[in-house]
Structure 1
């Protein structure tokens, strides 16, 4: 990575911190810090949800799969779009109509305090691991680009590149800093900026790789069925299960539920989920094309580094730094959303309830920032341990396939039906967890089955989905059928739903400040890209198109921000 790339990356990171500090003043109440005051525009919420599921882990895990096995990676990730559309149809509006400030508040109303304890600690542990993997992934990409001379204090003697631990600490510190300062508003706004820059950067790489393929460079041989949407491991049955798992995840995981809560109305919540789903139906074919094209040029790359190596192969000076910044942005979005939501839960459910029932709003905001700092420190520690835990791909697939379903399915069921209670929640989480342990570690023991063990070994991904999606639904179905009348807590919750009214607009009407922040930030990024013309002899046409594209989007956002505010619908 050239000096100009490092400068571009540094400027982008500084800009991200500046956005967080800009929104620090809006956090006067806990609702501002953790629910954006219920005034987030639906499109901001939808883009933020999209970016919350995206991270450098996307490029390391799914980019690596695309490099190894081809189009099947696109098919798997497109399933997430189907899940989000279903969430928009059945779930997102229900979240907003409950009138809660945090998802944990709903869990307490619906299932009781014991459920809050179970969900908080189980989900926080799972999410700290998954976001730690994302932080590890973006650090892996950075160190692949930064070789250092022997004797450099930041050099890893084993690889000859920048120390992975230093990269993890650097990126982790930046994400925690802007999340602690700016709360959910900072998370939402940086997500929007990161979405735009990331999509443009990916679109920038694709035509350059096509030109490289057409330049006469020798093509590498491809594996069989490289262009098939399925494979031996990832069958159509797996795809169906993947839709189910992500329906639970996107519909009930607290970072996503928070996006449905923070908008003004239930209609806005649905629109944000539809936007999220529509983007995930289209975008996988774009952002997984680069590693597929790179596989045609080079067959012996490390799959985890394939995406960034493809970018390094074709991008002009300075643009590689922007691509690295875009991948950091995606990771920052995933991490900051999780930090914010769990800091909110700990503040509202534990600090306020247990330690200081009479705490002022100022004290609650301060406590939330301390909790965000502690959670950030924990995920940095996990990121350092990812290689010991088996690598990024194995962790992501196991967590998603086996653990999110039993944790999320009861929440969605409890949102739509009154028949299940805490016993069903405990049964779903406990029995599925035990089944998962048995499938992973017990099939070769005294209680195992050689035939079943052989099948699981041959079909590990389908086994994950059966345990993580099918089994919890079966357990909840039985619990639902065994009870004929709604739980008492359901009636109390329905009273809140019946009293639901959309959040009224503030005295200034529709808030156009997000569009103004987007315009200023993208305008600066566009000018920076055009300045890179001075450092390149080749690729000037692509730089010009990229810079002008960002300036055009900035101009449109500025026009929106200059509209006179009026009453919200």
Structure 2
């Protein structure tokens, strides 16, 4: 079994990495102004911005975590993708026209004009926390296959990646990120197709065996259609997907910058539809890869044992223990591995052990480049927000171009360091996809609820918004922390699935704000009479 790079793989990886970095340096001159660094001069075609939006979804999270989830369980997380068409339509109907009309590069300027400075600060802080969680998950998942193939410690790979991606974002700005996204999304789609074909052809009884084994194990299930709110049922994941995708398209700084970067309203609409709808079938391919992996290892049990051993070794090494010196611990870990623990690691092992030389290098290069692209997007949007919403708003209202660029560069470096630190913490988690979804839901903080309140209701004023946000934050804190209460306080636990945290946070802010706004308006009318 080949578990290391060949010379061809190294050449492919080096060439791809060099080409990606070259894009950043090529666009250096176009990113030396705040307008170029944050909005690409507002001159890009819609198809490029659309592929960039698509690539924002199609990160190493999709490439590795989605197959891991369908391998370990079923297609339940695919329901998240099914919510995208609705979110895309809403985005093109309401969100995009607003941002294009105002021309404001900050996604949260609307909140300040509607409710005051506090609302802009509130949304900005939680957006920045969400990006830290995203960067950490992406870099961690990218480091998984490289650690398997190269035999390097995963922490070392994360550190190298963090430095590289920070340099890339520092030099290229948003214009380089968007063009690199377009190229990398095409490579990743091609790589996914190659993997699916190799697995189907590797079945002893032909491709049909994948479907028979998957059907016998209920691997294509979209989850329970029951009404329980304590489990990730079809409805829980669907509601979560609608909420998070509305948050992505409506108030995510990364997406708003792509709306602004498009050269016309028509091109901007094209970018949203292309990015949103393309992800649905492509994500299905990634889930199918996970299902095919399950079938493949069912008929190749010796290969599965090799995977289990490699995962156990990696887990022991993460505890800074030498597997050779601790054989009993290695056996114990190996025998007690869960499906979830194997899930995130099984696809990287397949790439390293079963794909032809050269193809392995290309796929790993694509995963690495996708991580660079996604993280650099988060770095650029976070730096933009820190410069526009905090530095220019509160520190130096009359900042010149040179001062603003210094802030952009400094924020990029600091956020790169913090994102790398989060990735190092994720080394200890069981499922990176669950960790990312949970963190993004918590850090989302109900931002969507405040934004929708400002767009939907003219009656809701500042007191209504403040009250809604305070109650929404209490709900989020309760749902996030109550599971840790001691048994004596078990009655106070929420009992709701973590995916519902952003849903209930959003609804609380929106409904409380609407009700208080209505009562206050009625009270004001009564006083006038």
* Corresponding residue for residue 282 of structure 2: 283
The answer as to whether partners of 1:252 and 1:409 remain within 8 angstroms in 2 is no
CA change 1:450–1:197 in 2 (3 A) is same
The answer as to whether partners of 1:78 and 1:280 remain within 8 angstroms in 2 is no
* Corresponding residue for residue 238 of structure 1: 236
1:169 aligned residue (156, 159, 167): 159
CA-based RMSD of the aligned residues comes to 2.9
* Corresponding residue for residue 291 of structure 2: 292
Q: Secondary structure at the match of 1:101?
A: coil
CA change 1:100–1:272 in 2 (3 A) is same
Between 1:105-114 and 1:244-253, the stretch displaced more is: 105-114
TM-score (norm 1): 0.75
CA change 1:469–1:101 in 2 (3 A) is closer
1:380 aligned residue (403, 413, 420): 420
Per-residue CA deviations over 1:402-424 (Å, capped at 9, x if unaligned) read: 44260233224424544434445
Q: Secondary structure at the match of 1:264?
A: coil
Per-residue CA deviations over 1:137-178 (Å, capped at 9, x if unaligned) read: 11122102122xxxxxxxxxxxxxx01121011111221111
The answer as to whether partners of 2:9 and 2:362 remain within 8 angstroms in 1 is yes
1:19 and 1:86 mapped to 2: Cα distance?
33
The answer as to whether partners of 2:87 and 2:249 remain within 8 angstroms in 1 is yes
The answer as to whether partners of 1:85 and 1:278 remain within 8 angstroms in 2 is no
* Corresponding residue for residue 183 of structure 2: 193
Between 1:64-73 and 1:416-425, the stretch displaced more is: 416-425
2:50 and 2:34 mapped to 1: Cα distance?
22
| TM-superposed deviation, 1:198 | 0.7
The answer as to whether partners of 2:84 and 2:245 remain within 8 angstroms in 1 is yes
| TM-superposed deviation, 1:41 | 1.6
* Corresponding residue for residue 95 of structure 1: 99
2:80 and 2:70 mapped to 1: Cα distance?
10
CA change 1:31–1:98 in 2 (3 A) is same
* Corresponding residue for residue 557 of structure 1: none
* Corresponding residue for residue 505 of structure 1: none
Q: Secondary structure at the match of 2:356?
A: coil
Per-residue CA deviations over 1:230-276 (Å, capped at 9, x if unaligned) read: 24733232143122332123211111122222223333332221112
Within 5 Å, give how 1:526-545 maps onto structure 2.
none
* Corresponding residue for residue 76 of structure 1: 80
Is 1:392 the counterpart of 2:432? The answer is: yes
* Corresponding residue for residue 323 of structure 2: none
Q: Secondary structure at the match of 2:150?
A: coil
**Which has the bigger relative contact order, CA under 8 A and spacing at least 6?**
2
Is 1:118 the counterpart of 2:122? The answer is: yes
Within 5 Å, give how 1:445-464 maps onto structure 2.
445=485, 450=490, 453=493, 456=495, 460-461=497-498, 463-464=500-501
* Corresponding residue for residue 474 of structure 1: 511
Per-residue CA deviations over 1:211-234 (Å, capped at 9, x if unaligned) read: 012467998965742121224733
The answer as to whether partners of 1:248 and 1:412 remain within 8 angstroms in 2 is no
2:154 and 2:96 mapped to 1: Cα distance?
39
* Corresponding residue for residue 4 of structure 1: 8
Q: Which segments of 5 or more consecutive residues in structure 2 lack a partner in the other structure?
A: 299-303, 308-341, 523-529
TM-score (norm 2): 0.80
* Corresponding residue for residue 226 of structure 1: 219
Q: Which segments of 5 or more consecutive residues in structure 1 lack a partner in the other structure?
A: 148-161, 486-569
Is 1:370 the counterpart of 2:410? The answer is: yes
* Corresponding residue for residue 198 of structure 2: 208
2:62 and 2:70 mapped to 1: Cα distance?
11
The answer as to whether partners of 2:88 and 2:273 remain within 8 angstroms in 1 is yes
| TM-superposed deviation, 1:121 | 2.2
* Corresponding residue for residue 537 of structure 1: none
Q: Secondary structure at the match of 1:102?
A: coil
Within 5 Å, give how 1:242-253 maps onto structure 2.
242-253=241-252
2:285 and 2:83 mapped to 1: Cα distance?
15
2:509 and 2:242 mapped to 1: Cα distance?
15
The answer as to whether partners of 2:13 and 2:362 remain within 8 angstroms in 1 is yes
Q: Secondary structure at the match of 2:77?
A: helix
Is 1:315 the counterpart of 2:313? The answer is: no
Q: Secondary structure at the match of 1:182?
A: helix
The answer as to whether partners of 1:424 and 1:476 remain within 8 angstroms in 2 is yes
| TM-superposed deviation, 1:447 | 11
The answer as to whether partners of 1:406 and 1:428 remain within 8 angstroms in 2 is no
| TM-superposed deviation, 1:27 | 2.3
* Corresponding residue for residue 408 of structure 1: 448
CA change 1:207–1:437 in 2 (3 A) is same
CA change 1:449–1:475 in 2 (3 A) is farther
* Corresponding residue for residue 510 of structure 1: none
| TM-superposed deviation, 1:375 | 0.9
Per-residue CA deviations over 1:367-400 (Å, capped at 9, x if unaligned) read: 3112111111111111111235665233212123
* Corresponding residue for residue 141 of structure 1: 145
The answer as to whether partners of 1:78 and 1:284 remain within 8 angstroms in 2 is no
Is 1:109 the counterpart of 2:149? The answer is: no
2:488 and 2:513 mapped to 1: Cα distance?
26
Per-residue CA deviations over 1:305-358 (Å, capped at 9, x if unaligned) read: 122233334421011111111112222222111111121122223333444444
2:469 and 2:449 mapped to 1: Cα distance?
9
CA change 1:292–1:473 in 2 (3 A) is farther
Between 1:313-322 and 1:77-86, the stretch displaced more is: 77-86
2:492 and 2:71 mapped to 1: Cα distance?
31
1:469 and 1:447 mapped to 2: Cα distance?
29
Per-residue CA deviations over 1:460-511 (Å, capped at 9, x if unaligned) read: 25643643444344334334534559xxxxxxxxxxxxxxxxxxxxxxxxxx
1:332 and 1:91 mapped to 2: Cα distance?
28
| TM-superposed deviation, 1:366 | 3.1
| TM-superposed deviation, 1:39 | 1.4
The answer as to whether partners of 2:27 and 2:176 remain within 8 angstroms in 1 is yes
